[in-house]
Amino acid sequence: MTQPADRLGGSGSGDGPVADELRLLPGSRSTDRKVEAGQELFGVGAPFDAVYNLIDGWVALYTLLEDGRRQIVQFVLPGGVFGMCGGSSGRTTYGAQALTEALVSVVSLAVLTARLRDSPDVTARLVRSLSRDRALAFDHLTSVGRRNARERVACLILELFVRCRTQWPGNRIEEMYLPLTQEHIGDATGLTFVHVNRVLRALRKEGVVEFHHRRLRILDPDRLVGVAGVDHNAAMAWL
């Protein structure tokens, strides 16, 4: 197993040129905040007063129904920007929870507004991030609405594999740290734990993927793409 794959799990320090490339505001470390695994960064309905830029680790964004059921709407990887609110209420419509130890740059709205006005590069970074997030959201909606259980799980695994691998283009990662439980996968795909377990066992038996103790091993990438039913253009939109 290569070091970069483990680094994506949240073991890095957030220092150095690689981390700087992941920052919405390059060179700024004064607003960095370390978060423990399982800690909430903010909850549903929290005041919208800052934007969060993940430098290291994994974060899940989720919504809640009145009865407590949870839908994970996105897994944020290093470089991701979240916490932005599109409504007029001034409060977030989703929550954010760290899945691993994480390093997050918390950028106040006042600072972000000033930088967007004075720095076209920061504006371009933010636009690219929002564009990618929209593409991911559309694909997740398609999965929950139209794909069957087998396709949903395969598509999610493929998405996370592609997004992780492209952060380290010089490494051929066939095994990666995936800090998710089967419950997380179920919350992201709209499936029960039992259904997720059944699909993963079938994919392992067929020699497609193996997911055990939060390690994901891609046994047959081509077959995984076929099971997920994802074309090249859709996969490129995840990057």
The pTM of the full predicted model, rounded to 2 decimals, is 0.89
Domain ranges in the chain are 3-119, 143-236
Main-chain phi, psi angles of 75, to 5 degrees = -105, 120
Sheet of strand 209-212: strand arrangement = 175-177, 215-218, 209-212
Residue 31 CA to residue 105 CA, distance in Å, equals: 5
**CATH of the structural domain 143-236, one choice from 1.10.10.10, 3.40.50.150, 2.30.30.110, 3.30.70.1170:** 1.10.10.10
Domain 3-119 homologous superfamily, CATH: Jelly Rolls (2.60.120.10)
CB-CB contact of 91 with 46 (8 Å) = yes
Nearest in space to 192 (alpha carbons), one of 158, 149, 132: 149
Contacts 24+ apart (CB under 8 A), 200-206: 200/153, 202/150, 203/150, 203/153, 203/154, 203/227
Distance of alpha carbon 55 from alpha carbon 73, whole angstroms: 20
Q: What is the pLDDT of residues 40-59, one digit of tens each?
A: 999 999 998 899 999 999 99
| Confidence tier at 7 by pLDDT (50, 70, 90) | very low
How far apart CA 6 and CA 202 sit, in angstroms, is: 26
What's the token pair of residue 237? 């939109």
pLDDT band, residue 174 (cuts 50/70/90): confident
